[in-house]
Structure 1
Amino acid sequence: MMNDLLRQWDGECVVVRYDHPTGTWIFIAIHDRTLGTAMGGCRMRVYPTPEDGLQDALRLARAMTYKWAAIDFPFGGGKSVLAVPRRLEGPEREGLLVRFGQMIEGLGGAYYAGVDLGTTPEDMNVIGRATSRVFGRTLDHGGVGDPGPWTALGVYAGIRVAVRDVLGRQDLDGVTILVQGVGGVGLPLAQRLYDGGARVLVADTDEDRARRVAEEVEGEVVAPDDVYDTECDVYAPCAVGATLNARTIPRLRCRIVAGSANNQLETDEDAERLRERGIVYVPDFVINAGGAIAHGALEMLRWSREQVERRVLMIGDAVREILEVAERQGVSPLAEAKRRAERVIAAVRKEREELAAAES
């Protein structure tokens, strides 16, 4: 199974290690470094099989290539997955993270890790004991902290544009938005949507958290199993990926899909399934780029927070352009977003080839 996944992948390389002390499979996937060194989050999760963890790493790394290109930042696509056998805490977790940091250091700068699902800024502090190739540490360790609020800001900007373009509404007053997953991104997004006048529906596998957030935003709780059958204007997936597929798309009762989760589509064909149903899908690697922008710009490019905020809000402009061109050309927004990203990568490759030819 692992061999089949690697044969089908179009990336540069994958580093695999089995961590004997914890029983964890470690995968570092580097997809494309045309634009620069590979940067992407470290995901820690219990998977049904190691192969599922590898598949997630491969898909996430490819998505990071498109994400950096879509926002025209000088970084390449990479991602890491720690496929743990159970929830790790204390010294066991700390030891795994240090050993993972040593792996990153051994790659000589080919990959930088950051926060992702299942990891925290505090985890990045631990990884940072073994390598400097890490971003997203806490403020007292020289990082910018939690990327969640920055990601939420970009998703909020994208939702406002999609609501305006698709529903013809100039604001969010009375617009019903279902936020699936109210963790590091979903919570600040729900708060922004509420402040913007939206009616917020909340779904989360943690019932207590869902109830607590719903009370905070004067919203309603939707049971996880009822998400796809619940009527709303916008469905915002903000937890795990692959929630949009041949099984769930026929059940959706929304006009727009726009959320922070990575790899929301199980396959690219799902973009066409949504289009055929008249549901506008805002590509995840565009709308959820706020956290990547913040970490890349603040920690690597040394921008000010004001510059970063302006750049994150420009995600709304990118969403508008993608939706307009996709509608005009009769293609899915995903197809247009990928074209934009591929043009950026192709232009850099061409420039390098011309430079190399001139020097030879």
Structure 2
Amino acid sequence: MTDTNIKFSLFNELADKEHEQVVICSDPESGLKAIIAIHNTTLGPALGGTRMWNYESEAAAMKDVLRLSRGMTYKSAISGLNLGGGKAVIIGDAQKEKTEVLFRAFGRFVDGLGGRYITAEDVGMTEKEMEWIYSETKYVTGIPKELGGSGNPSPVTAYGVYMGMKACVKKAYGSDSLEGKRIALQGAGNVASHFARHAAKEGAKLFISDIYEDKAKSLAEEVGGELVAPEDIYGLDVDIFNPCALGGVINDETLDQFKCDIIAGGANNVLDQEDKHGQMLLDKGIIYAPDYVINAGGVINIASELEGYNQERALQNAGNIYNTITDILTYSEEQGIPAHQASNTLAEKRIEAVGKIQNKYSSNAEISGRLGSVYKRFVD
């Protein structure tokens, strides 16, 4: 394939997903190879975490960041936030390649966007890396509390997943109690661990897997769960499957294995092919909580940080995911469409409505002033 074909393939991909901007970040001295994708800024600055992952190819990294950033647009819109959608990926092994100089280099790229993109913590990242990025730019969230941030957003994300799952359980069984429910938990990271504690406390039976067996074993021992091999997690006879690791896990190969009534979890982009696999879940009678809705606790937490952080308020707002999921499932049923389509439609309606309001203003500066006024952290 020629360079010309690659270029046109990339631009076709951008046009298909309607992205505004993609930034390739290269700093040979530090070893930084990163991509920042800004999907839509109609509702406000593009916000989304930075993920560090050892992608099998640069194309795989590009595919991931484009999907993730688009999901952030819909996540903020459906959650009622004045934020747009963006995401970043750093190509590298999070277990071996983290250095201060690398993350400071990345911070300079973020700063160069002048606030169009605000970054945060994601897979493979910790508060320490956020602190290094913060050394170079103010457009970063999830920094340690002692620096004025909200710290790790995982507890709030996990609480939102927990509440969204309860809404699904209410729809499926008539009661939202997780007591006695059998839950397959794919992943044992921060969000998965906090979720597992909520679910176990309510009396759920957890089956836990992770590509790092020691993490899964430790979590299973803590919450009284059962350790499961990663390849066996899809076919378990359970009530609920909770994907809480990476995306694309609902696909042609796994769909025939599921024996659950509900899929609701913290991972992003779990539908490998959104329309195809969303429809297949509907056809199989599996209740699906759209991923970007149920895991919106993280962005809700960050929005709270931008306005002056209060964890109690952040948790309360994340608890409203219960009502949002209920509304989406109701709309899905009324319209006879998959849940992800119902959610997309509701999110798009809000973006369109705000876009029409913006067109009434005579200058972008006036619009930016309205949208930016709530972000106290970025006011000089």
TM-score interval w.r.t. the shorter chain?
A: over 0.9
Bigger shift: residues 161-170 or 27-36? 161-170
Say yes or no: does 1:44 pair with 2:52.
Answer: yes
Say yes or no: does 1:162 pair with 2:168.
Answer: yes
* Structure 2: stretches of 5+ with no match in the other structure: 1-5, 367-380
Query: Which residue is equivalent to 2:378?
Result: none
Say yes or no: does 1:125 pair with 2:131.
Answer: yes
What is the CA distance between 1:239 and its match in structure 2? 0.4
User: Does the CA contact (< 8 Å) of 1:45 and 1:83 recur in 2?
Assistant: yes
Say yes or no: does 1:290 pair with 2:307.
Answer: no
TM norm structure 1? 0.95
Aligned residue pairs total 355
Which of residues 17, 23, 27 is equivalent to 1:15?
23
Query: Which residue is equivalent to 1:334?
Result: 340
Matches within 5 A, 1:278-317: 278-297=285-304, 299-302=305-308, 304-317=310-323
What is the CA distance between 1:149 and its match in structure 2? 0.7
Say yes or no: does 1:68 pair with 2:67.
Answer: no
Output the CA distance in 1 between the equivalents of 2:343 and 2:124. Answer: 28
Query: Which residue is equivalent to 1:240?
Result: 246
Q: Secondary structure in 1 aligned to 2:119?
A: strand
Against the structure 1 CA distance between its residues 205 and 85, is the aligned structure 2 distance closer, same or farther, given a 3 Å change threshold? closer
Q: Secondary structure in 1 aligned to 2:359?
A: helix
Against the structure 1 CA distance between its residues 87 and 216, is the aligned structure 2 distance closer, same or farther, given a 3 Å change threshold? closer
User: Does the CA contact (< 8 Å) of 1:19 and 1:25 recur in 2?
Assistant: yes
Q: Secondary structure in 1 aligned to 2:253?
A: coil
Say yes or no: does 1:5 pair with 2:10.
Answer: yes
User: Does the CA contact (< 8 Å) of 2:21 and 2:37 recur in 1?
Assistant: yes
What is the CA distance between 1:18 and its match in structure 2? 2.4
Output the CA distance in 2 between the equivalents of 1:353 and 1:177. Answer: 47
User: Does the CA contact (< 8 Å) of 1:42 and 1:79 recur in 2?
Assistant: yes
What is the CA distance between 1:270 and its match in structure 2? 0.9
What is the CA distance between 1:113 and its match in structure 2? 0.7
Output the CA distance in 2 between the equivalents of 1:118 and 1:30. Answer: 20
What is the CA distance between 1:65 and its match in structure 2? 0.3
Say yes or no: does 1:59 pair with 2:67.
Answer: yes
Matches within 5 A, 1:106-125: 106-125=112-131
Identity %: 37
Bigger shift: residues 172-181 or 15-24? 15-24
CA RMSD of the aligned region, Å? 1.6
User: Does the CA contact (< 8 Å) of 1:178 and 1:202 recur in 2?
Assistant: yes
* Structure 1: stretches of 5+ with no match in the other structure: none
Say yes or no: does 1:176 pair with 2:217.
Answer: no
Say yes or no: does 1:343 pair with 2:349.
Answer: yes
Which of residues 271, 276, 283 is equivalent to 1:276?
283
Matches within 5 A, 1:192-231: 192-231=198-237
Amino acid at match of 1:6: F
User: Does the CA contact (< 8 Å) of 2:104 and 2:132 recur in 1?
Assistant: yes
Amino acid at match of 1:283: P
What is the CA distance between 1:87 and its match in structure 2? 4.1
User: Does the CA contact (< 8 Å) of 2:158 and 2:192 recur in 1?
Assistant: yes
Q: Deviations over 1:236-267 (max 9, x none)?
A: 00000110111111111111000000111111
User: Does the CA contact (< 8 Å) of 2:157 and 2:297 recur in 1?
Assistant: yes
User: Does the CA contact (< 8 Å) of 1:5 and 1:55 recur in 2?
Assistant: no
Bigger shift: residues 17-26 or 311-320? 17-26
Q: Secondary structure in 1 aligned to 2:160?
A: helix
What is the CA distance between 1:354 and its match in structure 2? 2.8
User: Does the CA contact (< 8 Å) of 2:31 and 2:102 recur in 1?
Assistant: no
What is the CA distance between 1:24 and its match in structure 2? 3.9
What is the CA distance between 1:23 and its match in structure 2? 4.0
